[in-house]
Structure 1
Amino acid sequence: MQPLLEDRGTVAAQRQQFTQSGYLVIPGLVPPPLVERLTAEVDHWVDDGLRARSIACCTDPARQGPPPVMELELPAHGELLTHQPLLELTAELLGAPFVFHHLHSDRHSARLPGKPWHHDREPNTRGDLSLTMVHALHYLGGLDDTMDSLVVLPGSQREAAEKSVRARLDTAELPGEVIVGRLPAGSTVLINSALFHARRPRRPRRPAATGAGKPRYFVDASYCQTGAQWWPVKPYWRHMLTRARELGLDGGRWPELFAERHFTEYADLRSPGEDLRRLAA
């Protein structure tokens, strides 16, 4: 099943689509000049070992401490994090103030294994499922037949389910799924973080000797409705929010966006590296 690329439509129509299905496709949200700068920064992030260092700082925080560079400190990434059309749409969809949760950036090789069915919602201290967490999945080069597809399961955000309850299915086809396999460059898929989704390998896989397809440039940014304290996923979350405030990323327009009071202290309740492994949608 191929996805229907939703037009911008009215805010009410977008809110209805997002509420019912748990996702909203926004073709070309990121302008070409910003896409170009972001792509260069992703190459720098991956090729110069900054991403690997960031992962090490999450898997062994006691020894590593905060990373020397975070994604939001890269100028284009910081700009994407607070891209006004994205934040304004998020505010309209959520209908409430929200806080930044995390930013993640990667370049997916065509040989990368798929990502099984999962969701990415984090708990909050009230156990309040009515508070929404969203992920903005940015596909800098778009998506096409040479790349893995994003697959979503509309409506599954309404389940009260563990993140990995469908992981045993790997990336198998499920009734009612929607495949997001074709997007223009700079497109964004905004999802309710409780929505089950997967990264499905392109089929058929061609042997490496015959070419391996294009890399998949991917950045995701996550935001949470205020009203409870959310679990952070990075041990240096406080340093991250502090740097965002120091850099003035909110532009004076979003006073809650980098406020520390919306989070609990970090608790390493997961296996080492789990947060970083599951972030690549």
Structure 2
Amino acid sequence: MEELLSQQQIDSFETDGYLVLEGYFESQHSQRVKDDMDRMTANGVRPNDRLDILMNYPELGFLTSEPGIIARVTQLMRGTRFTHHHMHASSQADGEKGEPWHHDYEQLPQTNRSHLMVHIFMYFDGLNGEIGDLLLLPGSQRQVMDRRALYDFGYADLPGSITIDSLAPGSIIILHSAILHARRPKPGGGDYRRYFANTSYCQDGILWCGVDEIATLNQVALERGYDRQSRYSWLFDTSQFYNGTKVWQDLKEKNIGSLALKL
């Protein structure tokens, strides 16, 4: 396998929980994706309308199996297989409301970090400090906590946190899904829009909490050819997921006292 990430970058990811790759997408590729996002906005499609995005916006759909990203994630997974979890996309202008501190690691309940999950944040027009700065708390992926344990801190700086507010167009950030992060609202300015998409991937070896419609999403992805002529069909393997809504309901009924005593 071609070494797309250096050992130093891999070590940095394992320590800090993120990697910044400036200008990953070429400008023409970024423009095609942005055109799809503009069509989404015009059609009233919401960022989390996953099925609509996969069915009707192919430039976005093909991001799920972008070869260079898959190769880099393979390195971070130490060569093990993994599956695509979800994607969403949005273009944000003045008045974007932001998102307080949280993490995105899928687990019910949150008890360990035995297997790797990563998110790919894609900034097709970069960041310039006007809309949606990214806040990160490096190393926090090693702490096990509820997804919104620090939600009440809003968008405040935390001890050791960093702010990413300047990125070249087409940049991506690879995140350990358990790293704490936030999106700070900014007043905007000029004509800048924050064209953003993310995809996420779960390491094989355990069952992961899946979105309710994941079987349909994976079927559509395969029908639309997002597996790139079967090269990446393994990314869309529904058998790697359980129904999160059902398991959550069952867990709420059993979540009394020490769960360890119920194993």
Q: Describe the shift of the 1:117–1:213 C-alpha distance in structure 2 as closer, same or farther (beyond 3 A).
A: farther
Partner Cα distance (1:124, 1:77) in 2: 29
The 5-angstrom pairing of residues 134-149 of structure 1 reads 134-149=118-133
Structure 2: gaps of 5 or more residues: 250-263
In structure 1, the partner of 2:202 is 224
TM-score by length of 1: 0.80
Does 2:12 match 1:17?
Answer: yes
The offset of 1:153, in angstroms, is 0.3
Partner Cα distance (2:38, 2:162) in 1: 30
In structure 1, the partner of 2:256 is none
- Partner SS, residue 89 of structure 2: strand
In structure 2, the partner of 1:51 is 46
Q: Describe the shift of the 1:177–1:163 C-alpha distance in structure 2 as closer, same or farther (beyond 3 A).
A: same
The offset of 1:155, in angstroms, is 0.2
8 Å CA contact retained: 2:47, 2:88: no
In structure 2, the partner of 1:39 is 34
Partner Cα distance (1:166, 1:52) in 2: 24
Equivalent residue for 2:172, pick from 182, 188, 200: 188
Q: Describe the shift of the 1:127–1:226 C-alpha distance in structure 2 as closer, same or farther (beyond 3 A).
A: farther
Does 2:146 match 1:159?
Answer: no
Q: CA RMSD in A?
A: 2.4
Partner Cα distance (1:229, 1:261) in 2: 8
Q: Describe the shift of the 1:83–1:146 C-alpha distance in structure 2 as closer, same or farther (beyond 3 A).
A: same
In structure 1, the partner of 2:253 is none
Does 2:63 match 1:80?
Answer: yes
AA of the residue aligned to 1:247: R
AA of the residue aligned to 1:254: Y
AA of the residue aligned to 1:47: A
AA of the residue aligned to 1:143: L
Does 2:125 match 1:105?
Answer: no
The offset of 1:28, in angstroms, is 1.2
The offset of 1:254, in angstroms, is 2.7
8 Å CA contact retained: 1:152, 1:178: yes
Partner Cα distance (1:35, 1:102) in 2: 20
Counting aligned pairs with the same residue, the percent is 30
Does 2:115 match 1:120?
Answer: no
Structure 1: gaps of 5 or more residues: 1-7, 56-66, 271-281
8 Å CA contact retained: 2:127, 2:133: yes
The 5-angstrom pairing of residues 162-173 of structure 1 reads 162-173=146-157
- Partner SS, residue 256 of structure 1: helix
- Partner SS, residue 76 of structure 2: helix
In structure 2, the partner of 1:70 is 53
8 Å CA contact retained: 2:136, 2:182: yes
8 Å CA contact retained: 1:72, 1:103: no
User: When the two structures are aligned, how many residues end up with a matched partner?
Assistant: 244
In structure 1, the partner of 2:236 is 258
